[in-house]
Amino acid sequence: MTGKKRIVVGMSGGVDSSVTAWLLKQQGHEVIGVFMQNWEDDNDDEYCSIKQDALDAMSVADIVGIDMEIVNFAKEYKDRVFSYFLKEYSAGRTPNPDVLCNAEIKFKAFLDYALELGADCIATGHYARKLERDGVHYLMKGVDPGKDQSYFLYRLQQHQLARALFPLGDIHKSEVRRLAEEAGLPTAAKKDSTGICFIGERPFREFLQRYLPTKPGEMITPDGKVVGEHIGLMYYTLGQRKGLNIGGSKDGSGEPWFVGGKDIPGNKLIVVQGHDHPLLLKPALQMDDLSWTLPQPPAAGDYAAKNRYRMADAACSLSPIVDGKATLTFRDKQWAVTPGQSAVLYDGDICLGGGIIQ
């Protein structure tokens, strides 16, 4: 990036966005920090860290020497992200709200706000890279394989990528921590946040029960034998092992139980024994609600894909895209392919986009 730019940095109060702001300031840019308040419920809850995060972001801004604003996007978040989250869970699927938050809040509502401030671009602490060639913006994997976050950014479009910077894309996490310590940033040793942003560290079922009514039903084996009772299909995801509370059965295999499927119309949870039960291994997946990072959708052919964030790239072939839907067929069967999650397609280090697993 050449020349001095006005850059608005999304500051979360974590070490990654802190170092992002520091690096850009060191490079001589005019940097403005914005802390996004995306959630207002339970602000005084023991599990909510938003107040401390805002204080940490302000402390960093003071040390880096930049102005910082706190901007409330809670209404946009509820309308665009949280309502979708509840709708998907009530339908028995397992959504990924962080993917939607990036597309709808951080690179839409926040980007629009930054442009009103006269920003040339925005920057975030994501571990991803961007390459521009012949006017086309390519979303690339971050160089740290353990932290690459391109999976969560796959719904970004060209106009969003054109205005986005990812200063940490070429840096390993250990180096980010070192830079933060060297710069005297108070977030240098701060623990990374985990889980869904608006749930924080609170028990998931407890949170969901506030918004969705429970609907208990039978737990059954694939041949229809009742082995227990579930508390509501929305509380379970494919491949889940914990929390099933199924004891051993005299004619069972003795292996652990896993969620193998859902009978939505019958309100039954299908459970299987054994990590590699056939119901948990799928040779292909269908996806819709497609979104591509490049101007043209990818042609049918051989690629690699992730059907969840923490997994290695899996060799696959993409079918021709018809009516906004596509099929990925894998070289090796994939474990616990989960409806509602995102399947993300890669050509080497280039993130091409993807869709929602059906």
174-189 tens-digit pLDDT: 999 999 999 999 999 9
Per-residue pLDDT at 250 exceeds 60: no
Give the span between the Cα atoms of 6 and 119, in whole angstroms.
Answer: 5
- The pLDDT value recorded for residue 260 is 97
Angle subtended by helix axes 15-26 and 173-182, to nearest 10: 70
Tokens 């429970």 belong to 214
**106, pLDDT greater than 60:** yes
The mean pLDDT of 279-291, rounded to a whole number, is 98
Q: Look at residue 190 and tell me whether its pLDDT is greater than 80.
A: yes
Decide: helix, strand or coil at residue 271: strand
Provide the b/e sequence for 198-226 (b: ≥16 CB within 10 Å): bbbebeeeebbeeeeeeeebbbbbeeeee
Mean pLDDT of 84-91: 93
Average pLDDT over residues 153-169: 98
Closest CA to 155 of 234, 209, 233, 98: 98
Q: Is 228 exposed, middle or buried (0-12, 13-18, 19+ CB in 10 A)?
A: middle
The string of pLDDT tens digits covering residues 331-340 is: 999 999 999 9
CA angle, residues 118, 77, 198, in degrees to nearest 5:
120
SS3 readout for 235-248: HCCCCCCCCCCCCC
Q: Taking phi first (over 0 means left), then psi (-120 to 50 degrees means alpha), and beta for anything else, what does residue 348 get?
A: left
CA 153 – CA 101 distance, rounded (Å)? 10
Is the model's pLDDT at 17 over the cut of 90?
A: yes
For 114-133, what is the mean pLDDT? 98
Q: What is the average pLDDT value for the chain, to the nearest integer? A: 93
| Higher pLDDT, residue 284 or 250 | 284
Catalytic residue status for 121: no
Which token pair is 245?
């509370």
In whole angstroms, give the CA distance from residue 264 to residue 255.
26
Residues in the chain: 358
Nearest to 170 by CA among 14, 23, 18, 292: 23
Q: Is the pLDDT of residue 168 over 90?
A: yes
Whether the per-residue pLDDT at 295 is higher than 60: the answer is: yes
Average pLDDT of the segment spanning 134-142: 98
Mean pLDDT for the stretch of residues 96-106 = 93
Rounded CA-CA distance 77/73 in Å is: 6
Whether 283 shows a pLDDT value over 80: the answer reads yes
Determine whether 197 is an active site residue: yes
The contacts of residue 67 (CB under 8 Å, 6+ apart) are 32, 33, 61
Q: Which one is catalytic: 101, 121, 316, 351? A: 101
Binding-site sequence positions: 10-17, 36, 125
In the prediction, which pLDDT does 205 show?
Answer: 81
Structure confidence at residue 197 (pLDDT): 62
With 80 as the cut, is the pLDDT of residue 2 above it? no
The pLDDT score that the predictor gives to residue 118 is 97
- Please tell me the predicted confidence (pLDDT) of residue 254: 81
pLDDT-based confidence at residue 198 (cuts at 50, 70, 90): low
The pLDDT of residue 305 is 98
Q: How far apart are CA 164 and CA 158, in angstroms?
A: 10
Lookup: tokens for 204:
């998931």
Tally of CB atoms within 10 A around 258: 23
Model confidence band, residue 43 (pLDDT cutoffs 50, 70, 90):
low
Task: Evaluate if residue 286 carries a pLDDT over 60.
Answer: yes
Known binding residues for ATP are: 10-17, 36, 125
User: 128, 140 in Cβ contact below 8 A?
Assistant: yes
Candidates 48, 121, 197, 316; catalytic one? 197
Report whether pLDDT(342) > 60. yes
Classify residue 271 as exposed, middle or buried by CB count within 10 Å of its CB (0-12, 13-18, 19+): buried
Residue found by looking up tokens 């005084």 in the block: 44
% of the chain at pLDDT higher than 70: 93
Is pLDDT of 251 > 60?
A: no
Q: Which residues have a Cβ under 8 Å from the Cβ of 82 and sit 6 or more positions away?
A: 97, 198
Q: Is the pLDDT of residue 193 over 70?
A: yes
pLDDT, tens digit, 9 for 90 and up, residues 218-230:
999 999 999 999 9
pLDDT tier at 42, thresholds 50, 70, 90: low
